[in-house]
Amino acid sequence: MQDAGVVTGVAVAVEGDRIIAVGPQPTLEREHPDSTRVDCHNRVLTPGLVDSHTHAIFGKARFEEQELRASGLDYMEIARRGGGIHSSVRDLRGRGEDELLDLAAPRLARLAASGVTTVEVKSGYGLTPEDELKSLRVIRRLGERLPMRLVPTWLGAHEIPMEFRELPDGRSEYVRLLVSTMLPGVASGMLARFADVFCEPGVFTIEEARTILTAAQSAGLGLKLHADELRPSGGAELAAELGATSADHLAAISESGIRVLAASNTVATLLPGTMLFLGKEKQAPARALIDAGAAVALATDFNPGTSPTTNFPLVMTLGVSQLRMSVAEAVVASTVNGAAALSLADRVGQIAPGYSADLALFDASDVRELPYWYGDRRCIATWARGRACHNSNGETL
């Protein structure tokens, strides 16, 4: 992660959806005389950024909760009172597939306009078999419609729905519903690449998460885990034990969690925008994780409750200024390691021959400007699989 592999004075040759060469411009021009040229004017060209953690399928915004938190009400307390995730669940259940698609498409376009070309999108605001499948079908249709690459994740275990919380055996009944009804529907429709669980005291326990994820693994899904976000509960350890592709959040990870993750192949995905927006002082121990040898990725956690941002470079700013990462580490975390957090590192996240032609061009002359102009939107253009996603006229395609 110390070396982002920055080179200067080079051109990139693309054929179809692949990068075929990176090298001095005169050489590439000689080798490909008939190709269409895009002049990048000596600006910064990065691999398309990889946002490996979003909850982009939701209905209404939840701006009323921001003031409640500011006045002292905790995130988990808002959820206990039926707000938070429950409020998005009530809202999503009342909306149709087309409507959800129309709401999500411009949000994803805004992510693309910030430099993102690959985005993981979770379900998790449905929490019934029907509403979770509806959300996953929306993700599939968006993936067919948009040039960016979408990776669908089933997060039926985002919360215990209110109607189950009110029953005496509601928790175990909901876990049974997840494993016996929802998961087979997701797997048979091939609607998700990953399964995820919000493992946190007050939401799903370690044992419940283990049951759900083990079943998902047997059904052929890769694993992700919302782990140790607010309080340490052994989530990182569970992710490593199950061979999860990523463990996400980790602001409250324990010392042993850091050691175990560092020794595993599980990517530690950090979401500093969430802690910033929730007004928490604590951030994930990125330095300790990196120094121990963990692969760290950065992502937006784009969602209506805890991280309503579609500005990926802002997350890189937080990586450097709050998590104390170097610029090289933040760039690697947003590209190569983001791809690894989606099991795509052999195809995505690098400007190298054979890799997907996913590129982002920034109005900057030095890569250190990406996290520097914080909150700014300096992405001029993005291409995903060789196709334009967003261009300098401010159009998103």
Task: Indicate whether 229 belongs to the interface with ligand NIG (CB under 6 A).
Answer: yes
Task: Indicate whether 229 belongs to the interface with Fe ion (CB under 5 A).
Answer: no
Tokens of 395: 């159009």
Among 193, 226, 385, 390, binds ligand NIG (CB under 6 A): 226
Task: Indicate whether 245 belongs to the interface with ligand NIG (CB under 6 A).
Answer: no
- Among 358, 393, 361, 349, smallest CA distance to 40 is for 361
Place of tokens 């919302």: 226
* Strand order across the 44-47 sheet: 44-47, 359-362, 379-384, 387-390
Nearer to ligand NIG, 45 or 175 (CB): 175
What gap in Å lies between CA 97 and CA 161, rounded to an integer? Answer: 20
Determine the size of the site formed for ligand NIG (CB under 6 A): 13
Among 306, 309, 317, 334, binds ligand NIG (CB under 6 A): 306
Distances (CA, A) of 158 to 86, 153, 270, 307: 10, 11, 18, 16
What part of residues 83-112 is at the interface with ligand NIG (CB under 6 A)?
84-85, 88
What gap in Å lies between CA 98 and CA 283, rounded to an integer? Answer: 37
Among 120, 132, 301, 358, binds ligand NIG (CB under 6 A): 301
Q: How far is the CB of 77 from Fe ion (least distance, A)?
A: 19
Q: Which stretch binds ligand NIG (CB under 6 A): 16-24, 232-240, 302-310, 313-321?
A: 302-310
Q: How far is the CB of 252 from ligand NIG (least distance, A)?
A: 12
Task: Indicate whether 228 belongs to the interface with Fe ion (CB under 5 A).
Answer: no
DSSP codes joined into one string, 164-195: HHTSTTHHHHHHHHIIIIIHHHHHHTT--SEE
Task: Indicate whether 301 belongs to the interface with Fe ion (CB under 5 A).
Answer: yes
Residue 229: contacted member of Fe ion, ligand NIG, none (CB under 5 to 8 Å, by partner type): ligand NIG
Give the interface with Fe ion as residue ranges (CB under 5 A): 301
